[in-house]
C-alpha cells in the first residue's frame, strides 16, 4: 500500500516547488557548473554569463517537467495514486492549463536570457538552444513522445549532459576542445542514468499504459544491470582519462560519490514496487549531483594549486 507521504496533498508554495520536480534539476545545473569549471582551468570565467546559463538551463528543465506533468495527465497516465510525479494537477487541484502556461512562460524567459548569451558569444547557440527546448517539449508532447520510446536515455544524456556542458564551456572560451568533450561523457551517461532509473521505477505501470521504454524492452533484471553498467562505465571513464593524461589525479575525487552508486544499484536489485524504488531514484539523482560536483572541485583544485 502506498505511503501517505507519497500521495498527500500539498499546500502553498509546496505545490509549486513539487511541480518543479527538484530532484531532476541536477540534470540542468551540474553540466553548467562542470562546463564552467573546465573553462576556468583553461581560461577564465565570465560570472554573469555563467549565472545566465545556469538560470536558463534550470528554467528549461523545469519547463520540461511541467510539459511532462501536463501531457501525461492529458493522456490519462497520471492519477492521484501515481508515484514519482509532481501531482499538482491530479492531487493538488492546479488547472492543467496553468501548468502548461507556466511551462511556456519558463521557456520564454529562458529564450530572453538566451538572447543575451548569444549576443555575448555566438548566434549559432540560438539554434542549439531551440533544439534543446524542442527536445524538452517533445519528450512527452506531440504525437510521438520520446518518453514512450527506447530513446529517452539517449536524448536526455545528449541534450542535458553533453550539449549543455559544451555550451557552458563554449560561452566562456569561444571554442570546444577534445578535453571538454571527453570530460562530458560520464556526465551524459549519468544524466541518461537518471532517466533509466525513472523508467525502471515506473516499468510495470508504463508497460500497462503502452509505453516502450528501454527498461521495458530489456526487462527489469537486465535494465537494472544496464543501469549499474552505466555507473561502472562512468567511473572507468575517469580512470581512462587519467591513464591517457587527459586530466590530473584530482579527478579521482569523483570516487567520493561511489556510495550513492552502490546504494542505487543495491536498491534497484532488491526492490520492485514503484514506491519502494523512490529512494533508489533519489540516490541516482544524487549520484549525478555528487559525481559532477566532485569532478568540478577536482578541476578547480588543480587549477588553484598550479597558480599558487
- Are 198 and 216 within 8 A, CB to CB? no
Burial class (CB in 10 A: 0-12, 13-18, 19+), 244: exposed
Query: Which whole number is the average pLDDT over 124-128?
Result: 93
Nearest one of 164, 95, 173, 168 to 133, comparing CA atoms = 164
Reported as a single tens digit per residue, the pLDDT across 157-203 is 999 899 999 999 999 999 999 999 999 999 999 999 999 999 999 89
272/261: higher pLDDT: 261
Distance in angstroms (rounded) separating the CA atoms of residues 48 and 107: 20
**What per-residue confidence (pLDDT) applies to 132?**
92
Cell 529564450 belongs to: 111
3: pLDDT strictly greater than 60: no
- What band does 83 get if pLDDT is binned at 50, 70 and 90? low
- Residue 305 pLDDT: 81
Nearest-angstrom CA–CA distance, 155 and 135 = 8
Instruction: For residue range 281-301, list pLDDT tens digits in order.
Output: 999 999 999 999 999 999 888
pTM above 0.85, yes or no: yes
Q: Which residue has the higher pLDDT, 246 or 147?
A: 147
CA triplet 84, 231, 155: central angle to 5 degrees? Answer: 60
Please tell me which residue, 271 or 210, carries the higher pLDDT value. 271
Give residue 67's pLDDT: 92
Say what the pLDDT of residue 81 is.
Answer: 63
CB 110 within 8 A of CB 63: yes
Q: Mean pLDDT over residues 106-119, rounded?
A: 96
**pLDDT tens by residue, 223-263:** 999 999 999 999 999 999 998 877 778 889 999 999 999 99
Q: Could you tell me if 238 and 186 are in contact, meaning their C-beta atoms sit under 8 angstroms apart?
A: yes
Mean pLDDT of 20-49: 88
Does 10 or 231 have the greater pLDDT score? 231
Range among 21-35, 61-75, 181-195, 247-261 with highest mean pLDDT value: 181-195
Write the pLDDT tens digit of every residue in 88-98: 787 777 888 99
| Of 38-42, 166-170, 225-229, 264-268, minimum mean pLDDT range | 38-42
Mean pLDDT of the chain, nearest integer? 88
- The Cα angle at residue 146 between residues 237 and 200, in degrees rounded to 5: 60
Rounded to an integer, the average pLDDT of 195-213 is 89
The pLDDT score that the predictor gives to residue 20 is: 81
Amino acid at each position: 500500500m502506498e505511503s501517505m507521504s507519497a500521495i498527500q496533498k500539498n499546500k502553498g508554495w509546496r505545490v509549486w516547488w513539487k511541480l518543479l520536480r527538484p530532484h531532476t534539476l541536477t540534470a540542468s545545473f551540474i553540466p553548467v557548473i562542470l562546463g564552467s569549471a573546465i573553462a576556468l582551468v583553461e581560461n577564465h570565467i565570465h560570472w554573469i554569463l555563467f549565472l545566465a546559463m545556469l538560470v536558463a538551463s534550470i528554467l528549461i528543465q523545469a519547463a520540461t517537467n511541467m510539459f511532462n506533468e501536463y501531457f501525461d495527465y492529458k493522456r490519462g497516465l497520471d492519477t492521484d495514486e501515481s508515484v514519482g510525479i509532481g501531482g499538482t494537477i491530479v492531487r493538488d487541484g492546479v488547472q492543467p492549463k496553468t501548468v502548461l502556461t507556466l511551462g511556456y512562460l519558463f521557456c520564454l524567459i529562458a529564450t530572453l536570457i538566451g538572447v543575451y548569451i548569444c549576443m555575448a558569444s555566438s548566434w549559432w547557440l540560438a539554434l542549439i538552444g531551440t533544439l534543446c527546448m524542442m527536445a524538452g517539449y517533445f519528450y512527452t508532447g506531440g504525437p510521438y513522445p520520446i518518453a514512450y520510446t527506447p530513446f529517452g536515455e539517449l536524448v536526455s544524456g545528449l541534450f542535458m549532459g553533453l550539449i549543455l556542458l559544451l555550451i557552458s564551456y563554449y560561452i566562456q572560451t569561444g571554442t570546444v576542445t577534445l578535453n571538454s568533450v571527453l570530460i562530458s561523457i560520464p556526465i551524459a551517461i549519468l544524466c541518461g542514468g537518471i532517466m533509466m532509473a525513472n523508467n525502471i521505477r515506473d516499468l510495470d505501470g508504463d508497460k500497462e499504459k503502452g509505453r516502450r521504454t528501454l527498461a521495458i524492452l530489456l526487462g527489469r533484471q537486465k535494465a537494472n544491470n544496464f543501469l549499474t553498467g552505466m555507473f561502472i562505465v562512468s567511473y572507468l571513464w575517469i580512470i581512462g582519462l587519467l591513464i591517457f593524461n587527459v586530466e590530473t589525479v584530482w579527478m579521482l575525487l569523483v570516487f567520493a560519490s561511489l556510495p550513492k552508486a552502490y546504494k542505487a544499484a543495491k536498491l534497484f536489485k532488491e526492490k520492485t514496487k514503484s514506491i519502494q524504488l523512490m529512494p533508489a531514484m533519489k540516490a541516482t539523482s544524487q549520484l549525478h549531483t555528487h559525481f559532477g560536483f566532485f569532478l568540478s572541485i577536482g578541476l578547480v583544485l588543480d587549477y588553484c594549486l598550479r597558480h599558487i
